[in-house]
A and B are shown apart, each in its own frame.
Chain A
Amino acid sequence: MQPFTYARPETVEAAIALLAEHRGDAELLAGGTDLIIELRNRWKTPKVVIDLKRIDELAPAIVEKDGFLSISASTVMADIVADERVQRLFPALVEAADVVGSIQIRNRATLAGNICNGSPAADTAPPLLVYEAEVVIAGTEGRRRMRVDDFIVGRGEVALGDAELVTAIELPIPAEPIGSAFTRMTRRRGTDLASITLCCGVDSAGMTRLAYGSVGPRALLILDDSGVLADPAATHEEKAPYLDRMFVDASPSPTSMRAGPEYRVAMLPVLGARALQTAIERLAHAT
């Protein structure tokens, strides 16, 4: 680990001022479950590390406001998993948050950090895409909002300026019930990085939203309004071509040690069909 200055601002504005001062040489610390490893291995060598955990505005909180469920930047996975509203409204996010790392990791790792880290394998990205979540960003120019789908750019890359930080991730509370499910493929059942992450959401209007990650530089969201996929009465054979079409943009790494590209591509419709079936069953249960 290379020595660095540790800063612990108490306001978002102070944190932004530090970011602006150290453009590119500062790293933000929330849970630290990625950052500490990167520092220890010298993959990142910032001059200053800005700890966000003393900022009141970012303190762990899940609140309803303006039709959104707002999850503050330092809210950890374990809190999300335990929250009754998230469980009820966004069960696939609970399923995803509940498999991030290990119990110890989930007690520290934040949802905002999981997205800002820009990992193609981020477990929470597919459900946030399916639920059409937004990030709230604070910077020197004030606050802005952005869809998670626009925020995620590529491998390790998000649409966040040098002097910006994410203050919250907000999920629109659906007016009509959505049936949703998250699944993934790993090398083992215990703690692991996924070789496929996948989330499926269906609504009673027949819209299917399917998002998947770890098979390309970023998680992708694909919509299908044919009604076939969401139709509980349609057979697997009827759905198969629609499902296959959703994965045409998958481009898994040919050199990954987790699984070969051919296998990953073959598994996408398998996992997709299973998540879709669960989502349909959950929608039926909810309506």
Chain B
Amino acid sequence: MTTGSVGTSQPRFGGYGRVTGRQRYLADIHLEDALHVKLVTVPSARARIISIDASAAKEIPGVRLVMTAADLPDPMPRHGPQYQDRPVIAVDEVKYHGEPVAAVAAETKEAAEEAARVVEVAYEELPAIVTVADALAPDADLVQERSIRRPGSLIDSNVLCEYNFGWGDVDAAEADVVVEGSYAWPAQTHFAIEPHGFMAAADEDGIVVWSTIQHPYQLQKTIAQVLDWPLAKVRVIAPDPGGGFGGKQHPKLEPLIAFMAVKAGRPMRLVLTLDETFMAVRRASAEIQVRMGFKRDGTLVFQDFANDFLVGAYGDTGDRITAKASWLSAGPYRTPSVRIRARAILTHTTPTHPYRGFGIPHVGWARESCLTEAAAALEMDPLEIRLKNLARKGEEHVPGDTPADGEWEQTVRKAADEIGWGTPTPPGRGRGLAIGVKSGPTTGLSYSIVRLLVDGSVLVFSGTSDMGQGARTIFAQIAADELGVPIDQVSVVMGDTAIVPFDQQTSASRSSVLMGNAVLFACRDIQAQVRGIAARSHDLDESEIVVDRGTVQLPDSRLAIVDVVKAGLGKLGGELIGTGEMRKDAVPEHPLGGTASFFEFNCTAVELEVDEKTGSITIDRHVTVGDVGLALNPIQVKGQDDGAAIMGLGHALMEHIIRDDSGRVRNVGAIDYRIPTSLDLPLELESFMIENADGPGPYGVKGISEGSLLVTAPAIAGAVTDAVGVVIRDLPMSPERVWRAMREHS
């Protein structure tokens, strides 16, 4: 008796609460007796802290604690997902605009704000390094002192790390035509509607930390490490975030809040303003140089990349973004020789954090733009040149890594068909098309516990965070089908390390695949137990019984799992408990630490017109097609793809962080950092899926949710070239930038 919810558009678990304001976000949780925290910052990108005088702040009624570096252990505890270099609070030197130098805790939010204003910080502004060129200058100051760098040849430079990937021999490759260009990707901010928030309460039993974090188990580890407490004494409660987009992956201010809670003996609460989130986290910017060599017929001979990712003052995930994105610089194409030199460069800017796409949009912007320029140089069709070089299923586009794992040509042709590629373009319009490919997780570890209760209802426990992507619904669908119960009989429990088992993280579009498998395996564990119960109840050998997708098949009859369990559990009731573990182990000799679990493969195609007087772009039709393996929940896949496409439009057309000459962020907040509204959408926007059930997740799913923003910008830039003949290599493609390009062109 399968309920058949897998593959259907089930309503979103928690969706009603989200759209009616009933969902309890972190900021809706009010701890009794909590003190309100406000951060103290200085208006500089880099400054030497001379002294901090909190006496005036302490005079303000209700102020209970002013925390500075002097109140923390010496040496200053440091943390970070890759590098343990980020101090709990700035010590000696402010290294980016907005880095907190002190924090005030008071009985009311107003008192904390008032007190934060009167903490007197004496500081000396120092010249900040904010560009790649500044950072690499021979006499450049070092962003990080040696003591917080990893030993090695780069320790006396601002290069955090450098990678050299490739195969074949680029220098020896013989090309008929070489095309090259430099492409820049500006920094952006995540702009989750829910700002980051943190709370902590400590007592003799340990500490509870509430956070909007995407990775509760990583936060548990970080807090245990900085406090030097056992994991079991650190409980992390992570309510479903209101959007994350990568910006809530790793711990940031939680260690500070934890130390404050311990010191004051009172719970602490800090909910950032939108402006403060701009200071807390950003996306990497990058400068990418590409050279591509071709045979006269368009066959790729080599690709040569020099990728400089401008990361922030602390390592955070800057190295990982640089490596993982650069690894796939050459894209999904068959290329005999590839050379990739990639560097992550430290600057006095907000630490770079993961952001939907994880650097792939940066390299995709460069590669796909260069490919479009190459098509023009070779007098070829931009679609044809791509199809000619595209790896077919089973081919290794990156030697030694997972081969092409889908019918990618099908995806590209679908996008081309949907945009009307090859049909006459209406006057004044242009079309563009680009292909993106991103590695899924390279390692992973997810556990799930599933409990089938005596009445036939089900509890699914998962350490995944549902921040709007719909993970709860997906896991409920799997459990409902495997155990044969209606989906409304399933509850999904998340967000509390005292309750749910370990999960490595919610990132890299992994959850449907990795946690999905863990849930599936937990259900199969229950199915195995059901088989035993059925064998005992019906006096059969287990080999005579098949349990699958909700049913128990006996030699002469077919029963529902729930009925077998109810009968088997008898008068005392009880439950069946299944556990599932999904592990994707590291491959130590692999440069990324592991092969791709799957690829997110996308083709984006647009048709647009350019106002030749103003440079303003109007997108008439925007199509994205993703190779999803199988859509467990089609409406959720479409929602993710549509959402990513719109986010990609923001990056392509309007979003960028603007800094002044001294490195301060100028466009802090919503007024001068613009994201697309409903009025900014293409006149038509459609997302399509290719389903061949060829993914590694349950029933053949692949991860989705990043695909549709991987190559939005190069698809649009290609269409702009097609429409008005200009080539754009910098973002965003604001009307002013397009206008300048047209003026220079004419």
Contacts and interface: CB of A to CB of B under 8 A. Distances in A.
Interface of A: 1, 42, 185, 187-193, 257-260, 263, 266-267, 270
Contacts of B658: 257
Interface string B643-686: 00000000001100010000000110001101011111000000
B667 A257 contact: yes
B441 to A, nearest CB: 34
A191 B671 CA distance: 10
Contacts, number: 41
Nearest to A260: B736
Interface string B722-746: 0000000000001110011000000
B677 A189 contact: yes
Given A257-B672, A260-B736, A266-B739, A190 B679 contact: yes
Contact of A185 (B614, B653, B654): B614
Interface in B96-142: 110, 117
A1 B653 CA distance: 35
Contacts of B538: none
A37 to B, nearest CB: 9
A266 B674 CA distance: 23
A108 B170 CA distance: 64
Nearest to A273: B613
B677 A191 contact: yes
A257 B666 contact: yes
A192 B613 CA distance: 21
Contacts of B740: 263
A257 B679 CA distance: 21
A190 B677 contact: yes
Contacts of B613: 270
Contacts of A260: 736
Contacts of B110: 1
Contacts of A259: 734, 736
B400 to A, nearest CB: 44
Contacts of A258: 672
Given A187-B734, A267-B614, A192 B674 contact: yes
Interface residues of B, number: 22
Contacts of B671: 193
A258 B667 CA distance: 10
A21 B233 CA distance: 60
Nearest to A267: B614
A71 B678 CA distance: 31
A16 to B, nearest CB: 31
A1 B734 CA distance: 35
A181 B680 CA distance: 22
Contacts of A192: 674
A1 B613 CA distance: 45
A263 B734 CA distance: 11
25 contacts: A42-B117, A185-B735, A187-B654, A187-B734, A188-B653, A188-B677, A188-B679, A188-B680, A189-B677, A189-B679, A190-B676, A190-B678, A190-B680, A257-B658, A257-B666, A257-B672, A258-B672, A259-B734, A259-B736, A260-B736, A263-B735, A263-B736, A263-B739, A267-B614, A270-B614
A268 to B, nearest CB: 11
Interface in B48-87: none
A270 B611 CA distance: 11
Chain B residues touching A, majority SS: loop
B611 to A, nearest CB: 9
A187 B677 contact: no
Contacts of A185: 614, 735
A165 B175 CA distance: 75
Question: Which of B110, B614, B654 gathers most chain A CB within 10 Å?
Answer: B614
Contacts of A267: 614
B589 to A, nearest CB: 48
A2 to B, nearest CB: 8
A44 to B, nearest CB: 15
A96 B116 CA distance: 40
Nearest to B615: A263
A272 to B, nearest CB: 11
A193 to B, nearest CB: 7
A33 to B, nearest CB: 13
B410 to A, nearest CB: 35
Nearest to A3: B110
Contact of B676 (A188, A263, A270): A188
Contacts of B680: 188-190
Contacts of A188: 653-654, 674, 676-677, 679-680
A122 to B, nearest CB: 15
Q: Would you list the 7 A-B pairs with minimal beta carbon distance, nearest first?
A: A190-B677, A189-B679, A190-B679, A263-B736, A270-B613, A257-B672, A188-B680
A263 B742 CA distance: 12
A237 to B, nearest CB: 15
Nearest to B675: A188
Interface string B404-426: 00000000000000000000000
A258 B674 CA distance: 10
B446 to A, nearest CB: 39
Contacts of A189: 677, 679-680
Contacts of B666: 257
A178 B528 CA distance: 83
A190 B679 CA distance: 5
Question: Which of B654, B679, B735, B736 gathers most chain A CB within 10 Å?
Answer: B736
B614 A187 contact: no
Given A266-B739, A270-B613, 16 more contacts: A185-B614, A185-B735, A187-B674, A188-B654, A188-B674, A188-B677, A188-B680, A189-B679, A190-B676, A190-B680, A257-B667, A258-B672, A259-B736, A260-B736, A263-B735, A267-B614
A276 B413 CA distance: 46
A266 B615 CA distance: 12
A191 B734 CA distance: 16
B159 to A, nearest CB: 31
Contacts of B653: 188
A60 to B, nearest CB: 27
A187 B736 CA distance: 9
Contacts of A1: 110
A220 to B, nearest CB: 21
Nearest to A2: B114
Contacts of A257: 658, 666-667, 672
A158 B621 CA distance: 46
A193 B677 CA distance: 14
Nearest to B678: A190
Nearest to B666: A257
A185 B611 CA distance: 13
A255 to B, nearest CB: 9
A260 to B, nearest CB: 6
A213 B92 CA distance: 47
Contacts of B614: 185, 267, 270
Contacts of B674: 187-188, 192
A259 B732 CA distance: 13
B404 to A, nearest CB: 38
Nearest to B650: A188
B648 to A, nearest CB: 15
A70 B391 CA distance: 70
Interface in B244-298: none
A188 B654 CA distance: 8
Contacts of A42: 117
Nearest to B677: A190
Contacts of B117: 42
A190 B650 CA distance: 12
A204 B374 CA distance: 56
A187 B675 CA distance: 10
Question: Which of A187, A188, A189, A259 gathers most chain B CB within 10 Å?
Answer: A188
Question: Which of A185, A259, A266, A270 gathers most chain B CB within 10 Å?
Answer: A266
Contacts of A191: 677
Interface in B594-636: 613-614
B206 to A, nearest CB: 37
Interface string B381-397: 00000000000000000
